[in-house]
Amino acid sequence: MNEILTGRRLAVLRRNTDPRLEWLCAQIARNRFLPVPPPDRVFIGDGDFRAIGAEFLRHFVRVGGLKPKHRVLEIGCGIGRMAVPLTQYLDSSYDGVDIVEDGIRWCAETITPAYPEFRFQTLDVANALYNPGGAEDAARTRLPFPDGGHDFVILTSVITHLRTAETVRYAAEIARVLKPGGRCFLSLFLVDARARDGIARKTARPAFLDAAGPEFIADEANPNAAVAYSESFLLDTFAAQGLRPARPVLRGHWSGQRNAENFQDLLVLEKETAR
């Protein structure tokens, strides 16, 4: 299941894209009436806020299999870069959580009044990069949602800021809140043989330190800034919780992979159904 999607297969994937989805994403990317947070409040990376959100909506649907009826949970929703385009697609509900209170405040004040089914809440979980004074240990956190209440869970560049014990805990919580057959969409850094070679040759970006794994960091002084994981370890961690790849990994170009559409790797996991 963990093969690389070649250029030919990517071309087939693009041809099979629903033209209605392409139209919607194009409209979102250039719709100046959709809200955008002030630049001084954005803490989730650079780039065009609307265009990046539209591109990920395309990924959620085309790669992840997201449907308008799905109940969505976004862990690490930031300041709404994914939530804003989802307002134009979902017919169901959306819950967003993040550890940065200011991002949640902007979402709750800007998105929820127009879309009441979009709800946001802060998790006071400690993270050396984003919430160093957090009261709760990420390795022990429990998401404030019932078992099996969501169809689709999103984590875009979240595992990239979690250490091993935290990642293991989030895997368990994701499995708990997903219904059987539900899916989890992640963007992250997965270290396979090619990526390990890129790390060793110092051609990977971020420039992760060469290590035995399963965890790879780019900055010893600030380890949460960028974290990669051995692919086998990461998949085994989720498999132990009943979450397995729903499709081949879509490789990113961070490690020097050719024919990549995106920067980080894209992984879609599906929760096994009861036998």
Instruction: Summarize pLDDT for 95-107 with one digit per residue, the tens.
Output: 999 999 999 999 9
The secondary structure of residue 239, as a DSSP letter, is H
Which domains occur in the chain, in start order? 9-271 (3.40.50.150)
Q: Which helix (H) or strand (E) holds 170?
A: helix 164-177
The secondary structure of residue 127, as a DSSP letter, is B
231-248: per-residue pLDDT in tens?
999 999 999 999 999 999
Which amino acid would we find at residue 217?
A: I
User: How far apart are the C-alpha atoms of 198 and 200, rounded to whole Å?
Assistant: 5
Q: What is the mean pLDDT of residues 41-48?
A: 80
pLDDT range class, residue 259, cuts 50, 70, 90: confident
Task: Identify which has the larger pLDDT, 239 or 46.
Answer: 239
pLDDT range class, residue 228, cuts 50, 70, 90: very high
pLDDT attached to residue 194: 92
As a whole number, the mean pLDDT across the chain is 91
Residue 13 has pLDDT above 60, yes or no: no
79-96: per-residue pLDDT in tens?
999 999 999 999 999 999
Per the CB < 8 A criterion, the answer to whether 209 and 178 are in contact is no
